Structure 1
């Protein structure tokens, strides 16, 4: 409410329900501490940033102690550091309260971090429901597969080859005789791709290192494999340079197979 201070906004649901003043003070103080807004409670909404207004709104919801919380991108306006802190707090609060929290987000990392179960929506339809680990490890379609993971899963056209599956014009060969015969695409998570120096005379064809992004604990390597571009996520800071020729591979058990319509195929 624009004519009220942030404190009055947070208190309002409890005042309306005629909660005792001592209890109001306790709940407001507790919510303000969790969301780091104690220093702005005296300000009117017009003097708050978008992120601060979001935190005040979350605090106003928390003090009510309802049966369920419905949150639509509740921390999208916060800066990266505060967003990380707040999502950890929200998860802890939900666990302590034991209340249902339905949480809408377009941030896949946020969804993986906060959720006990995720429902993936596409064009207004639920495509898959499961735990974060279930959806990440066994996506129901290429659409779902691309949503979770950073960098996203590499999806490549594939064809049956001698003893397995080939993709990216022969730069990738999967020795998997049990691969579904009706698979037309394969999915490779960047962290599952192995990259090693190319040795002349080795099986398949080499890929070229297109770009290298060192990010401290890991490195993202973009590879030109035939006409395709794919990303590999490597630990540490390996000695890999742009334009180097490398061999790429993936364990058969880590390969995902998809049919023509984009649906996942069982192994």
Structure 2
């Protein structure tokens, strides 16, 4: 069990800054997720924790002990790489038990721990096979088992279940969360899948160009994003970003959405509306309404794409509402459910109910 802390850590590759003056702390026994688009610095942070990279500036501490210049083997941190890094000449079982053999753990203890983790990840029937004879998803589970079979101070996982099919990925992430709670170890998890990040993380860090833009629980970030960038990262369909339009009345979406000026914070130039908060009214022939551009029924909910002038918005509605293509509909949103942003893209505090 361990805490992990970064103090003003920067890592460069030539002229490119991969990690930019990052400071954060991961709590003991926390499931912590690093989330962001490709090249945002997620994997580099994992390599810095593991010891495969050394920062150009700043300090890394594990359980309060500086490890910035401690070699990787001495840190006792287990890693599941995105490319798996299985030994091709060893069976799946030998790959899983390899870390324990290297540490000269007693054979009986090795057998018990390998059997236990293999059962949890549903690979007991695969232990006799070579990696070349396994599917991509099976190899991924073997790599995860190899990390779990150890007793490190922390587990690091770099997008470990991306190769699994959707149903198995869902099952595996539930298992990972359960196993992490049972083991009582810190787990640092990298993913580009927002659903995965929100479902497993106790807290998550939102990264952009090597810098951390926000750290909080997934729900807190979703409900109170720090800026436009963070607001746009979470949510499917993606949040609607609109410009506030001043005139005889205050509107957005080319006049299709009426706004209450008394609820708009000073300095706000834009708003964000989650698709599930955008209300679509009855069909209407009135002017300045939005036109239904597309209807996507998805079983339990329906995604409606709307068009107003050159602007497109998306609404998420429960069930399968009877909305016709090309019809004109009214739009509304509770001001308390809107996000407000200034010119720099920073989120502004919402005004209290008047």
Q: TM tier, shorter chain?
A: over 0.9
Larger mean CA deviation between 39-48 and 100-109 belongs to 39-48
Contact 2:204 2:216 in 1 (8 A): yes
Contact 1:206 1:246 in 2 (8 A): yes
C-alpha deviations, 1:211-234, integer Å up to 9, x for none? 001111100000002211111000
Larger mean CA deviation between 30-39 and 231-240 belongs to 30-39
- Measure the CA separation in 2 of the matches of 1:174 and 1:81: 42
Contact 1:176 1:252 in 2 (8 A): no
Secondary structure, aligned partner of 2:199: helix
- Measure the CA separation in 2 of the matches of 1:258 and 1:226: 22
1:41 is displaced (CA, Å) by 1.3
- Measure the CA separation in 2 of the matches of 1:39 and 1:55: 12
RMSD over aligned CA atoms reads 1.4
- Measure the CA separation in 2 of the matches of 1:161 and 1:35: 60
What stretches of structure 1 of length at least 5 have no aligned partner?
none
Partner in structure 1 of residue 58 of structure 2 = none
- Measure the CA separation in 1 of the matches of 2:261 and 2:95: 61
Tell me which of 59, 63, 67 is aligned to 2:153. 67
Partner in structure 1 of residue 220 of structure 2 = 134
Give the TM-score taking structure 2 as reference length.
Answer: 0.72
Partner in structure 1 of residue 67 of structure 2 = none
Aligned length: 264
Contact 2:285 2:328 in 1 (8 A): no
Q: Which structure has the higher relative contact order (CA within 8 Å, separation 6+)? A: 2
What stretches of structure 2 of length at least 5 have no aligned partner?
1-86
- Measure the CA separation in 1 of the matches of 2:258 and 2:124: 58
Partner in structure 2 of residue 207 of structure 1 = 290
C-alpha deviations, 1:116-169, integer Å up to 9, x for none? 001000000000000001100011111111111110111011134567x41111
- Measure the CA separation in 2 of the matches of 1:225 and 1:96: 51
Partner in structure 1 of residue 138 of structure 2 = 52
Partner in structure 2 of residue 95 of structure 1 = 181
- Measure the CA separation in 2 of the matches of 1:216 and 1:89: 26
- Measure the CA separation in 1 of the matches of 2:161 and 2:232: 23
Tell me which of 26, 34, 44 is aligned to 2:112. 26
Secondary structure, aligned partner of 2:90: coil
Moved over 6 A (4+): none
Tell me which of 264, 280, 285 is aligned to 1:195. 280
